């Protein structure tokens, strides 16, 4: 499969082996991946080639024997563990517990922004900010995942 690997401060487009599905994994055929500051940090820090990317959206292509509730063809998005990564590839294996259904009406590109940046924005508004149903908020100058992260934590 084709993938973008990070190594020694650079990103490389290369052929690499497809992932092996573990017992609790969902194999996702990647249609879109989010790009975040952490991906750039990984590229700088990686001493060995690693497939970059934490946010992914695509279609379920297979599941491990312990996985329940996901079926081939389901549209999903997922947050990939930072120690594993792998969204910048044609295929990625993700723990089933980190997979969510792609919300109706969202494209894969939009869905790939939800797992990390969307979660940070949610935490900033609702968990940290205390926003409640019926209240309004003006989001001024939103600048992506980094801005959301900086606003989410005290």
Helix axes 145-152, 37-45, angle to 10 degrees: 100
2-112 is a CATH 3.90.180.10 domain: yes
pLDDT tens sequence across 60-119: 999 999 999 999 999 999 998 877 778 999 999 999 999 999 999 999 999 998 988 788
Residue 150 has pLDDT above 60, yes or no: no
Helix (H, G, I), strand (E, B) or coil at 33: strand
pLDDT tens sequence across 16-72: 999 999 999 999 999 999 987 777 777 677 667 889 888 999 999 999 999 999 999
Q: What's the rounded Cα separation, in Å, for the pair 21 and 25? A: 6
pTM metric for this prediction: 0.82
Q: What's the rounded Cα separation, in Å, for the pair 49 and 47? A: 7
Q: Please report the beta strands in 8-135, taking only residues with DSSP state E, as ranges in sequence order.
A: 10-15, 25-34, 50-51, 55-63, 75-79, 91-95, 99-101
Band (pLDDT 50/70/90 cuts) for residue 143 is: low
Domain boundaries, the chain: 2-112
Note the pLDDT of residue 149.
Answer: 45
């Amino acid at each position: 499969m084709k993938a973008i690997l990070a190594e020694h401060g650079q990103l490389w487009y290369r052929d690499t082996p497809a992932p092996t599905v573990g017992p609790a994994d969902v194999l996702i055929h990647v249609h879109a991946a989010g790009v975040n500051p952490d991906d750039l940090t990984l590229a700088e820090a990686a001493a060995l080639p690693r497939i970059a990317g934490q946010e992914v959206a695509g279609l379920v292509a297979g599941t491990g024997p312990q996985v329940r509730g996901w079926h081939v063809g389901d549209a999903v998005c997922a947050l990939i563990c930072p120690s594993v990564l792998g969204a910048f590839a044609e295929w990625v294996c993700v723990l089933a517990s980190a997979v969510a259904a792609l919300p109706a009406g969202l494209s894969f590109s939009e869905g790939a922004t939800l797992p990390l940046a969307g979660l940070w924005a949610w935490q900033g508004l609702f968990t940290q900010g205390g926003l409640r149903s019926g209240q309004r908020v003006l989001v001024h100058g939103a600048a992506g995942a980094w801005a959301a992260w900086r606003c989410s934590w005290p």
